[in-house]
Structure 1
Amino acid sequence: MTELQYIQSQLSIPEKSILKTIQLLNEDCTIPFISRYRKEMTGNLDEVQIGDIVKLKNAYSELEKRREAILKSITEQDALTPQLQEKIAQAKTLTILEDLYLPYKKKRKTKASIAKENGLESLAKIIMKQQHEDVDYAAQRFVKGEVTSVEKALEGARHIIAEWINENEYVRNRIRRLYQRKATITTKVVKVKKDDETAQKYKQYFDWSESLQRTPSHRLLAMLRAENEGFIKLKVEVDKEEALHTINGLVIKTHVKSSTDQVSMAIEDAYKRLLAPAIVNEVMNDAKSKADEIAISVFAENLKQLLLGAPLGQKRVLALDPGFKSGCKVVCLDEKGDLLHNENIYPHPPQREITQASKKIKSLVNAYKIEAIAIGNGTASRETEFFIKKIPFDRDLQVFIVNEAGASIYSASKIARAEFPNYDVTVRGAVSIGRRLKDPLAELVKIDPKAIGVGQYQHDVDQTKLKEELDTVVMSCVNAVGVNVNTASSALLSYVSGIGSTLAENVVQFRTENGKIDSRSSLKKIPRLGPKAFEQAAAFLRIRDAKHPLDNSTVHPESYHIVEKMAKDAKISVNELIGNKEVLSKIKLDTYCTETIGLPTLNDIIKELEKPGVDPRKAAKLFEFDKNVKKMSDVKVGMSLPGIVNNITNFGCFVDIGIKESGLVHISKLASEFISDVNSVVKLHQHVTVTVVEVDEARKRIQLSMIE
């Protein structure tokens, strides 16, 4: 089976598109570059389709490595037959490969291997033929040495037969399918932990049972976490009689009672001791893998929405990291996000220096020409918001509540120490809050995505797969928006197509030593930024006020000559062509097609020329929580409250209603009709109106509804 056949078997994508995509990937092209600038080659595949090809390409590579290792091992044992070799060559999954390899796999000492050492394999073969009328008589000649009785001989033979049954690929497949279709997952509370306060969040799993096949991903992950924490015992099983009946149907061939009784005993032993534990482990790993995939997908979608959140833009911002006893850390940032000033104020208990704090904020707003105020949504957030809004400023100021999840992670990070070596973590955290308002994407790329807090069991899933998926999402978002090469941090630059962390540092160093980069062509002067890196990165790097007007657009330098020809044909300059919708609408695109550039790319060029350098993100919007709700005790059943969606899961969404505890809108309460996908109704940071359905102060849980 070839790489192409493997990918084609799982994707409905034309062969030519797959082959061309693989070719580009092998040439070290990135997903954003391929999807944006090689549409003609791939047949206009999008990032998701190309990403699927990448995943399957990697899976095929792992499959081939394992296939080679298995063939090598069996060959070394001088056990590889043409039939077995063909089966291994045709295997499409790792599971099938491992089933084929199981009889040849080197094992630790087992009951079967001990029986073979005692010379009982011949007896096992006699019994397995199921033709001998008196197996006790047949077993007598094997009573010698370590085998001290007929029963010991028969027991050893059954151990060998049990291993044969366990290693039979047909038996394993049938039992595997039985578990996949009919397995039940059951949980019971660990009695000594039943009254544990921490265990109460898993109370519904103290006595729970359901079909494993129908268990939602979030519930399976919750059960596994509860088991890992020692609060419950988890069991997966099928009807034992059905399983034994299935194996009997495959193994029992005659009605010779003396032999078949022994085989039946071996079947029961094989199922209980070998097959069931192995298949349970296998189906649970498979179920966990699928649950991980769904959870990672939810996290990735949330992260994408968060990274593409509305930016305030290049405005002067005063940011506050609120607090009570320790006070509120205040920082002032200029248009670029550079730190101008920092200090503490103490408007809340126990100090209550309201007058001094008010005067100080007003003074800072005037001195630094502040245009907007950002307040972190942590402790004392609402109190700080009320305090700020009571200050009589001499101008209209927008006040935003900013999600500060992960700000503490950033403030203690290597990136933060490099940016602010002379300031402590409190200053760095406040700066991060202010910068998030200005440009969420540029700031959030500095933080490990897992720390941002928009996931579902992100610490329980496969961490390697999670990192790969989240890195792909960040790269996609960064390249979709584009990066100002003269102001971007090395963290942001590292996600640009073709750049990476080392080149990102080189770009920053080049800027520091040579000043502003004034053209895309000058990017080639940056150390180690060779032709391939330039090809991949150039169109995603923006240069404002550049010599060439297209250097601040999404048009790739390789296509500049086409735009220049369009301008020349229209008898105007490129500058005059940009934004000239009347001229652009009259251009006959098919006259500019070449062997490598077709209508998909030309249409993209025209769209960009109509609105060059437009940020695809929406503008930041103000939001106000209910002024009467400051803490959980203020929340009452029946209240209608404004809120902001701050996390999305498979079972619903969490909504910030202006207090420390977010409320849950279960998927059944999102709309009056049936909903299968939460994202079809709400998006991260969406402003919504919710009704309070239930308040559980003891468990700090609030149930909400969006059904009118």
Structure 2
Amino acid sequence: MIKYIVQHTQLQEQSVKNTVDLLNQDCTIPFISRYRKEVTGNLDEVQIGDIVKFKEQFEALEKRKKAILKALDEQEVLTQELKQKIESTTDLTALEDLYLPFKKSRKTKAEKARQNGLEPLAKIIMSQNAQDIESIAYKYVKGDIDSTEAALEGARHIISEWVNERTDVRNNIRHQLERFAMISTKVIKTKADDENAQKFRDYFDWEESLNRMPSHRFLAISRAEKEGFIRVKVSIDDDRALAKIEQRIMRSHNACAEQIALAIKDAYKRLLLPSLVNEALQIAKDKADESAISVFAKNLKQLLLGSPLGEKRVMGIDPGFRTGCKVVCLDAQGQLKYNETIYPHPPKNDSVGAVKKISSLADAYKIEAIAIGNGTASRETEALIRKVHFKNEVQVFVVSEAGASIYSASKIAREEFPNYDVTVRGSVSIGRRLQDPLAELVKIDAKSIGVGQYQHDVDQSKLQKQLDVVVENCVNAVGVNINTASKSLLSYVSGIGDKLAENIFNYRQENGPFTSRNAIKKVPRLGGKAFEQGAAFLRIKTAKNPLDDSAVHPESYPIVMQMAKDLGKSVQDLIGNAELLKKINLKNYCTETVGLLTLDDIIKELEKPGLDIREQAKVFTFNQNIKTINDLREGQLLPGIVNNITNFGCFVDVGIKESGLIHVSNLSDSFVKDVNEHVSLHQQIIVKVLEVDVPRKRIQLKLH
């Protein structure tokens, strides 16, 4: 396993071995990357994630080998040579090729021919020595075989199967598919005018090299085929492929060779090509999935680490026309204090009453910021809020409400607000997203947040797994206030999980806030392992020991206490005191298990304990003259917010219903390798309008 992982990751063997040992002890990626740097050789969470990935791949390969060896043993066909080949292979495709000749379906044409006693004839033909093959074939005319041609056809079916099972032949065609395969599409004529087919119009008649096709295009074509609008074909040069097979098998030019040539053609068309084209498409799909999942993961990370406003009193508004705007007032910890509905827009048009109500609520609940959802009636509501004269300064933000409706109808929302309907819960979610995006977004299934591309077309279990890793890494990178965190947020803390999160939450409800990290050990079923993995990521704001509100692990408290003692100071004196911390000679505190990497981290944390790694939220204003797509003109410069990133560019909200696309070619004057190097999610940018296609509701933009 270690060799396999090293081969795929190019990491140091000792680092891999130590990391695998830690993983086998149920240590989590955040814990290992942060608190076991000496053991891993300072591997980061991405490298540890790769080790996990290839460890699982190796285990799956070994499991498949065992199943195949067992099956072959039961068939009594397992030779020592075959066993050795299977045990030494490190590739799943090669493994399945070795198993192929023994994975017989009883219904194949070749099997039927064998039952009719035609295998000896197939062997004579394959020896390529016989001259009068017709006469030899005549001897096999009996039973169900009623003619020489029937005998030869049956023998060819057996030869076709042999050709199909040859690893060298399969690898050669794989190689040709890899290098030269073309993928082409044709619209299904009866569906060409279907309204739903129009979004795939670009692919009604398309051809491209399969290995050069970008992942987003492959997934779009796959979806169009799945929905029944197009047919997809993968092809290579058949004559060239057949010639390559013949070169490997043919040794003569007699009557036997004619039969073999026919068998090769049959094997190629009926067995090899369909199966290897499916394999090539699956490889392309896996590659496209990996690329799309990677885009989604990067976007989700940026979204989760979005700028929080912090503990401020917030008014959340879920805007609407006919149904009104749902308004909630939240305290600095996100608790709901008041809710109301106002009707400033058509058909009621009570803007005067709405302004009065907003003003009095802001005053009564000492509101410091307002969060407006960016859905229907968002611009109109924002314009209304900007007319209100507040007694104190109030910042106004437009917040993405993607997934808020999913949250408001969820079990989590019902548990949090059993006495309120979905509209109130949605407004609370909008307000809380401004206070702390991470704490709120972890309550929503990541796939519903709406960042990424084709997330419903990729392998769902792989997607879920990757997104869970991203959420876990983000939550632990920021740290969690154990006394205010929801069950959802607590469940992502290293080593905690759903059940312990519920136990922590219930313990807090019954016994009040935790006063120290040690008190966490009193939570039912929270044992030593969970404490070791999770304690340093859980913060206690008003603890007696200031280290309890820091990323210093409890196992390192004695080191910090020794540092303070050696300086003749208290631990509290060290906190935030850069001058004092500079006097510490870290080499004096190195032990067998604690080295300079860990000690450096401790000093950095003491300088700024519990520092939030995220930037603070900034107010943003759209161009107030742009209300719909019809207001856009080529050449306009507009402020916008990046609301999605894909491999082919990024989408930008310019304050109207439709998002505009900055194609990858319009992000920079030089070649763009990775869109994320030029823009990030929720970044505030200036864009230039290049083209507006009103009928198709498409807007082309350029980064200014």
Q: Secondary structure at the match of 1:9?
A: helix
Q: Deviations over 1:318-375 (max 9, x none)?
A: 1100000000000000010000011100000010001111111111001111000000
Q: How many residues align?
A: 704
**2:585 maps to which residue?**
588
Aligned partner of 2:631 among 634, 642, 646: 634
The CA deviation at 1:635 is 1.2
Give 1:204's aligned amino acid: D
The CA deviation at 1:677 is 0.7
**2:23 maps to which residue?**
25
TM-score, normalised to structure 2, is 0.99
Counterpart CA distance in 1 for 2:134 and 2:400 is 77
**1:567 maps to which residue?**
564
Counterpart CA distance in 2 for 1:394 and 1:508 is 38
Give 1:507's aligned amino acid: I
Q: Secondary structure at the match of 1:318?
A: strand
Give 1:514's aligned amino acid: N
Counterpart CA distance in 2 for 1:697 and 1:194 is 22
**1:133 maps to which residue?**
131
Report sequence identity in percent: 64
**1:192 maps to which residue?**
190
**2:271 maps to which residue?**
274
**1:66 maps to which residue?**
64
Q: Secondary structure at the match of 2:641?
A: strand
Give 1:274's aligned amino acid: L
Counterpart CA distance in 2 for 1:165 and 1:8 is 36
Match runs of 1:345-424 below 5 Å: 345-424=342-421
**1:697 maps to which residue?**
694
Aligned partner of 1:203 among 189, 198, 201: 201
Q: Find out whether 1:508 has 2:505 as its counterpart.
A: yes
Give 1:177's aligned amino acid: H
Runs of 4 or more consecutive aligned structure 1 residues displaced over 2 Å after TM superposition: none
Q: Deviations over 1:51-102 (max 9, x none)?
A: 0000000011100000000111111111111221111111111100000000
The CA deviation at 1:450 is 0.5
**1:608 maps to which residue?**
605
The CA deviation at 1:11 is 1.2
Counterpart CA distance in 2 for 1:156 and 1:106 is 17
Counterpart CA distance in 2 for 1:91 and 1:179 is 23
**1:120 maps to which residue?**
118
Counterpart CA distance in 2 for 1:606 and 1:268 is 72
**2:447 maps to which residue?**
450
Aligned partner of 1:171 among 169, 174, 177: 169
**2:244 maps to which residue?**
246
Give 1:413's aligned amino acid: S
Q: Find out whether 1:36 has 2:34 as its counterpart.
A: yes
Match runs of 1:215-230 below 5 Å: 215-230=213-228
Structure 2 unaligned regions, length at least 5: none
Give 1:653's aligned amino acid: C
Aligned partner of 2:614 among 617, 638, 659: 617
Counterpart CA distance in 2 for 1:178 and 1:6 is 27
Q: Secondary structure at the match of 1:645?
A: strand
**1:80 maps to which residue?**
78
Counterpart CA distance in 1 for 2:545 and 2:388 is 47
Counterpart CA distance in 1 for 2:7 and 2:137 is 51
Counterpart CA distance in 1 for 2:80 and 2:286 is 34
Q: Secondary structure at the match of 1:186?
A: strand
Counterpart CA distance in 1 for 2:248 and 2:610 is 67
Structure 1 unaligned regions, length at least 5: none
Counterpart CA distance in 1 for 2:349 and 2:496 is 50
Counterpart CA distance in 2 for 1:224 and 1:134 is 51
Match runs of 1:144-183 below 5 Å: 144-183=142-181
The CA deviation at 1:106 is 3.4
Give 1:621's aligned amino acid: K
Q: Secondary structure at the match of 1:71?
A: helix
Q: Secondary structure at the match of 2:337?
A: strand
Give 2:172's aligned amino acid: R
Instruction: Indicate conservation of the 8 Å contact 2:305/2:438, yes or no.
Output: yes
Instruction: Indicate conservation of the 8 Å contact 2:636/2:689, yes or no.
Output: yes
**2:294 maps to which residue?**
297
Q: Secondary structure at the match of 1:254?
A: coil
Give 1:41's aligned amino acid: V
Give 2:542's aligned amino acid: D
Give 1:88's aligned amino acid: I
Q: Secondary structure at the match of 1:704?
A: strand
Aligned partner of 2:330 among 324, 333, 356: 333
Q: Deviations over 1:489-518 (max 9, x none)?
A: 000000000000000000000001111100
The CA deviation at 1:644 is 0.3
Q: Secondary structure at the match of 1:265?
A: helix
The CA deviation at 1:690 is 0.5
Q: CA RMSD in A?
A: 0.7
Q: Find out whether 1:518 has 2:515 as its counterpart.
A: yes
Counterpart CA distance in 1 for 2:609 and 2:375 is 38
Q: Deviations over 1:29-49 (max 9, x none)?
A: 000000000000000000000
Q: Find out whether 1:491 has 2:488 as its counterpart.
A: yes
Q: Deviations over 1:621-649 (max 9, x none)?
A: 01000010011111111111000000000
Q: Secondary structure at the match of 1:629?
A: coil
The CA deviation at 1:5 is 1.4
The CA deviation at 1:188 is 0.8
The CA deviation at 1:681 is 0.3
**2:54 maps to which residue?**
56
The CA deviation at 1:254 is 2.3
Counterpart CA distance in 2 for 1:357 and 1:56 is 58
The CA deviation at 1:108 is 4.1
Counterpart CA distance in 1 for 2:333 and 2:9 is 45
Instruction: Indicate conservation of the 8 Å contact 2:182/2:236, yes or no.
Output: yes
Q: Deviations over 1:220-272 (max 9, x none)?
A: 001001111111110011010011011111111223x2000000000000000
Q: Deviations over 1:559-617 (max 9, x none)?
A: 00000000001110000011110011121111100000001000000000001110000
Counterpart CA distance in 2 for 1:454 and 1:134 is 69
TM-score, normalised to structure 1, is 0.99
Counterpart CA distance in 2 for 1:119 and 1:9 is 48
Instruction: Indicate conservation of the 8 Å contact 2:3/2:13, yes or no.
Output: no
Give 1:334's aligned amino acid: D
Q: Secondary structure at the match of 2:544?
A: coil
